[in-house]
């Protein structure tokens, strides 16, 4: 039992050192491994399986909105990148360049994609000729490379996995509709599948994507009170189209520029799952994203009939659509329990000789540790219902935490004190001036996370900027962020 206990004790407590706790969970749950290239990580099977589930569910939702998948090259000629000045300046510090092919220096250096706007623009300039060619609603699943100085598994790595959608439309209205549609796809996915409550809002001009007219975001709150940008959707207007010459002949036989959007979600969502739901014993996975939803643990598995009954129960769960595995390793039950909890599998079923004799099993929730005795004949049905309850409870728990750590500030002193002493979101009005936004960041390290959508965003008459005291224009959610 000493070894069983040590497995759990080796994780640093969240309240002692949250950053070390996060690293411990990533490492001990075997989600990633380090490589010989700084800032690049190995996705181990446990980590990649979560990404596969994210990809599968997002891809399904994308296709329901008419999205088609494509794949574009990873190399971008410098001349192509240089056509959009703001975009280039925004990514210049993070770009990695290829200058030699084999033993021969290249006549033009190539950028390893930090994002693919330029490649999609080049494609659309060739493929779009008429209004009949619109809209183009494409997405690609790929990796990108950004030469980050400070890296951390999932949250910020030099090479990471993501999807990037790029669309072209005939009108500004269609582009805006698609931009907000994809924002809502992300928000619904985060809440319904990952059990992570999010704020939906618009970025300030300072925080928007380089080259975009507007950037919309979903913002999540981690357990340490820091925000995480969980997904973004950008309206490019016709700026990229003009830079890259993407025009079409409209029904009235006039030449017009297309309006574009782009939207993306990355493997940092695995980091969000860890930091929103994890505890001092390890990972806690929402059932709808877990690669294994239930672990069946045979107790005294060498006793006659125990392993057979465990496999029989697992088969019934599998037939009911539950992702299940039987832990028939030669480890002790205590080790298996700790391992299941470390890896975050939503529930386990314990079956021993006495359970079989009584026609029952024990179901244990990962999130609350609550144990329930269930008749063996009812195991599959009860497991399905319990998984749905766990999913719902995890979301409600995370939402209650987010709401309890969302504050309001009406003057600058209370704003600064709140940011320093009460980590979380701070709602405060803003005059709309970049100088105040910069001042807030310099004084508190808090940034504007988003301006909420709808009527809430507009400052009421008499509201003043939390920083300068001048008449306010917008309500902003502020916070320190990853």
Using alpha carbons, select from 174, 225, 189 the residue that is nearest to residue 64.
189
CATH topology classification for 14-277: BirA Bifunctional Protein; domain 2 (3.30.930)
Could you report the per-residue pLDDT of 271-293, keeping only the tens digit for each?
999 999 999 999 999 999 999 99
3-state secondary structure 357-386: HCCEEEEEECCCCCEEEEEHHHHHHHHHHH
Whether residue 141 has pLDDT greater than 50: yes
Whether residue 416 has pLDDT greater than 70: yes
pTM as predicted: 0.94
Would the CATH topology of 14-277 be identical to that of 406-479? no
Whether residue 478 has pLDDT greater than 90: yes
Span 197-209, average pLDDT: 97
Tell the burial category of 427 from Cβ atoms under 10 Å away from its Cβ (0-12, 13-18, 19+): middle
Span 130-141, average pLDDT: 98
Q: Please report the pLDDT score of residue 177 as a whole number.
A: 98
Mean pLDDT over the full length of the chain: 95
84 — pLDDT class (breaks 50, 70, 90): confident
Tell the burial category of 321 from Cβ atoms under 10 Å away from its Cβ (0-12, 13-18, 19+): exposed
Span 415-423, average pLDDT: 97
Whether residue 3 has pLDDT greater than 50: no
- Cα–Cα distance list, 51 to 153, 160, 305 (Å): 14, 11, 37
- Cα–Cα distance list, 42 to 33, 48, 160, 436 (Å): 5, 9, 10, 41
Using alpha carbons, select from 69, 79, 86 the residue that is nearest to residue 166.
69
Q: Where are the domains of the chain?
A: 14-277, 294-390, 406-479
Tell the burial category of 369 from Cβ atoms under 10 Å away from its Cβ (0-12, 13-18, 19+): exposed
CATH topology classification for 406-479: Translation Initiation Factor IF3 (3.30.110)
CATH topology classification for 294-390: Rossmann fold (3.40.50)
Q: Please report the pLDDT score of residue 81 as a whole number.
A: 86
Could you report the per-residue pLDDT of 252-269, keeping only the tens digit for each?
999 999 999 999 999 999
């Amino acid at each position: 039992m000493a070894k069983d206990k040590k497995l759990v004790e080796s994780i640093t407590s969240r309240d002692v050192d949250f950053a070390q706790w996060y690293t411990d969970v990533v490492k001990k749950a075997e989600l990633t491994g380090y490589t010989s290239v700084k800032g690049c990580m190995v996705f181990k099977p446990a980590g990649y399986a979560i990404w596969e589930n994210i990809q599968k569910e997002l891809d399904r939702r994308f296709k329901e909105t008419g999205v088609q998948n494509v794949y574009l090259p990873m190399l971008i000629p410098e001349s192509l990148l240089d056509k959009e000045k703001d975009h280039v300046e925004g990514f210049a510090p993070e770009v990695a360049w290829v200058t030699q092919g084999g033993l021969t220096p290249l006549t033009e250096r190539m950028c390893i994609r930090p994002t693919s706007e330029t490649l999609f623009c080049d494609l659309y300039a060739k493929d779009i000729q008429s209004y009949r060619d619109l809209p183009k609603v494409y997405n690609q699943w790929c990796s990108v490379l950004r030469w980050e100085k400070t890296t951390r598994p999932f949250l910020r790595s030099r090479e990471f996995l993501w999807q990037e959608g790029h669309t072209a439309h005939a009108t500004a209205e269609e582009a805006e509709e698609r931009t907000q549609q994809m924002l809502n796809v992300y928000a619904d996915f985060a809440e319904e599948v990952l059990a992570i409550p999010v704020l939906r809002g618009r970025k300030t001009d300072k925080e928007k994507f380089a080259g975009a007219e507007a950037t919309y975001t979903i913002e999540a709150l981690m357990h340490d009170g820091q925000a995480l940008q969980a997904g973004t959707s950008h309206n490019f207007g016709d700026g990229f189209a003009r830079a890259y010459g993407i025009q079409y002949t409209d029904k009235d036989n006039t030449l017009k520029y297309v309006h574009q959007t782009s939207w993306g979600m990355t493997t940092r969502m695995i980091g969000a799952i860890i930091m929103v739901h994890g505890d001092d014993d390890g990972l806690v996975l929402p059932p709808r994203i877990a690669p294994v939803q239930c672990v069946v643990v045979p107790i005294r598995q060498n006793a006659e009939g125990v392993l057979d009954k465990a496999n029989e129960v697992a088969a019934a769960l599998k037939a009911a659509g539950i992702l299940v595995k039987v832990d028939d390793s030669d480890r002790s039950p205590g080790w298996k329990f700790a391992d299941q909890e470390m890896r975050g599998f939503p529930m386990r079923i314990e079956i021993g000789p006495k359970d079989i004799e009584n026609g029952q099993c024990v179901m244990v929730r990962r999130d609350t540790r609550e144990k329930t005795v269930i008749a063996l004949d009812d195991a599959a049905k009860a497991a399905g219902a319990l998984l749905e309850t766990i999913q719902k409870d995890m979301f409600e728990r995370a939402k209650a935490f987010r709401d309890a750590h969302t504050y309001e500030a009406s003057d600058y002193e209370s704003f600064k004190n709140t940011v320093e002493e009460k980590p979380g979101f701070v709602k405060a009005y803003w005059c709309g001036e970049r100088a105040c936004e910069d001042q807030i960041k310099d004084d508190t390290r808090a940034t504007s996370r988003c301006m909420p959508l709808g009527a809430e965003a507009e400052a009421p008459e008499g509201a003043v900027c939390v920083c300068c005291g001048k008449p306010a224009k917008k309500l902003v959610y502020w916070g320190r962020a990853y």
